[in-house]
Amino acid sequence: MSYHAQRSVVASNTMPILATTKIPKLTPAKKQSAPQVDALGLKSLPSHTPYGLDRCQIDTPDKIVKGFWKLIKRHRRHLGSVIDLGAGDGRFAIGAKYDEYQGYEIDPERGRRTNLPPNAKLIHKCAFEVEREDFSVCVGNPPYVRHHDIDGAWREELTRRIKKDLGFTLNRLANLFVYFICLAILKTKSDGLIAMLVPYEWVSRPSAKALRDFISSKKWDVHVYRFKDEIFKGVLTTASISIIDKAGTSGAWKFYDIDSDFNVEPKRKMSGSNQAVLNYLRRPEKVWALRGLSPGSQEIFVLTEDERTRFHLKKTKDVRPCVTSLRGVPKTLQRLTPAAFKKHYIDKGNRCWLIRSNARLSISKELRKYLKKIPASKHDNYTCNNRRPWYAFKQHPSPKVLYASGFTSFGPKIVSNDIHAIAVGSVHGIHSDRKQNAQKIVSKLRNVNFERQVVAHAGSLKKVEVGQMNSTLHALFPIAKKKEIPKRP
Ligand SMILES: C[S@@+](CC[C@H](N)C(=O)[O-])C[C@H]1O[C@@H](n2cnc3c(N)ncnc32)[C@H](O)[C@@H]1O
């Protein structure tokens, strides 16, 4: 990968220190002849760029751009020089008065708005190659790309540069838009304003913690406007306009709800309720949550009853019961008994049998036959390509309790796992030492109002992350302190 030299700064509240560093260079994605389309309707990643551009070209509706500028007026009267990182067709150049606008767009094939004002320039160049660091305002709707869809070497280089220029290490799991917020910090002057349309999740995700800590250490003011409505059709994240005011000195983080007409409603906490967002905790000692197994492809590894019988796979030898979703079970169900499993999974034709294709197990003739029938194209994915043989995944222990990480109101569906099923995908498991009774865990967790303590994931959909479930479990099942035996005099 080629890199080019660039001046960069060690960010400071007062004076940027100039340094010469190299920033990884991006090349625009070449158009693919027959792009694949995934479940979200997005085109597949071109293999020759650090991330697929097709994936991140979701434009901002004009109405939102208009409201965006109205909102910015609350924070800056005079805009001065504006930089737009990932400018698309330059639509953010319209609707505001500024001294100059420079929009950077990497893809030269993107169209350009015909009505750009004379003091606006749309430049087809990678935003990471911009040399100026004195912009008064940085705006943008930066690309949203998950960490595993970003080229590892490119990301490492960028992480190293951020460490050098800003002094903190960005979590490798951070989404690409987080790198763009870092870039915005670097490209604006010491009293500049950053206003970006980014997923709301950055205010609580552990992967953006280092960035949040850095911003807090600078005592900059942060205002996060969370959209109540879906503004990007079909995109499964809650959008926000996040404003970082480098001229601020309070270090306060303020949260607001906003609708698509830009009516603003202040909120006391980032959760949107009067309760704080749940902390993230690593596995506690007594009772802990574990992410659902990702075998590689549920289509291959998790079978319906019909498929199981068609391939003559035996229940204990070849497959184990598993739960990939709790969507079909009533919220009142507290125990996943054999009868409930039959009713809600087996009889309904849901995928509920996890094949036992662990390399260390002896695989039956029937299971081998089934695996042989899977075309190579079906298991051509990151997980399967990175193990030998492609189907040998590590077995997970069966948890005492199962819960769906996603939910819409109050809390997730939680059931005791009476059938010793394996938790798969977005269904996670709760494990514990021998003493804890599954029903006790279920009833305690069912009383917790998670809705008030997590941030919205997408529209009304909320999600409890494993670390957040762990902090809840740690609070519900504290470790009893050993009684001190008084020493004899
Ligand atoms: C989510 S779109 C937003 C486009 C436009 N600003 C809007 O809001 O409608 C992000 C844009 O960033 C561009 N982009 C991605 N990586 C870039 C980079 N490194 N430098 C400049 N532009 C980039 C994409 O091509 C895409 O047009």
pLDDT at 338 (0 to 100): 97
For the record, the structure tokens of 110 come out as 């993107």
Q: What DSSP string describes 135-183?
A: EEEEEE------GGGS-HHHHHHHHHHHHHHHS-PPPTT--HHHHHHHH
Measured between alpha carbons, how far is residue 409 from residues 96, 456, 459 in Å? 39, 11, 12
Domains of the chain: 3-267 (3.40.50.150), 287-476 (no CATH)
- Rounded to the nearest angstrom, the distance between the alpha carbon of 275 and the centre of ligand 1 is 35
pLDDT at 260 (0 to 100): 87
Mutate which of 82, 110, 141 for ligand 1? The one with the most ligand atoms within 8 Å of its CB, which is 141
Q: Tell me what the mean pLDDT of segment 393-415 comes to.
A: 94
260-283 residue pLDDT tens? 899 999 887 777 777 888 888 988
CA distance 19 to 256: 37
pLDDT at 275 (0 to 100): 80
Q: Which atom of ligand 1 is nearest to the CA of 53?
A: 25
Average pLDDT, the chain: 86
58 CB near ligand 1 (under 6 Å): yes
Q: Which atom of ligand 1 is nearest to the CA of 92?
A: 6
Residue having the nearest C-alpha atom to atom 26 of ligand 1: 57
- Rounded to the nearest angstrom, the distance between the alpha carbon of 103 and the centre of ligand 1 is 10
- Rounded to the nearest angstrom, the distance between the alpha carbon of 421 and the centre of ligand 1 is 44
Among 15-19, 165-169, 180-184, 308-312, name the one with the lowest average pLDDT: 15-19
Indicate whether 328 pLDDT > 70. yes
- Rounded to the nearest angstrom, the distance between the alpha carbon of 128 and the centre of ligand 1 is 12
Residue having the nearest C-alpha atom to atom 4 of ligand 1: 88
103 CB near ligand 1 (under 6 Å): no
pLDDT at 182 (0 to 100): 97
| Whole-number percent of the chain with pLDDT over 90 | 68
34-50 residue pLDDT tens? 333 333 333 333 344 68
237 CB near ligand 1 (under 6 Å): no
130-170 residue pLDDT tens? 999 999 999 999 999 988 888 888 899 999 999 999 999 99
Indicate whether 57 pLDDT > 80. no
355-370 residue pLDDT tens? 999 877 789 999 999 9
User: pLDDT class for 230, splitting at 50, 70, 90?
Assistant: confident
109 CB near ligand 1 (under 6 Å): no
Helix residue spans in 26-115 (DSSP H): 62-72
Indicate whether 314 pLDDT > 50. yes
Q: Tell me what the mean pLDDT of segment 429-433 comes to.
A: 93
Indicate whether 2 pLDDT > 70. no
| Radius of gyration, alpha carbons of the chain | 25
User: 24 or 63: which carries more pLDDT confidence?
Assistant: 63
CA distance 211 to 205: 11
pLDDT at 486 (0 to 100): 66
- Rounded to the nearest angstrom, the distance between the alpha carbon of 107 and the centre of ligand 1 is 8
User: pLDDT class for 28, splitting at 50, 70, 90?
Assistant: very low
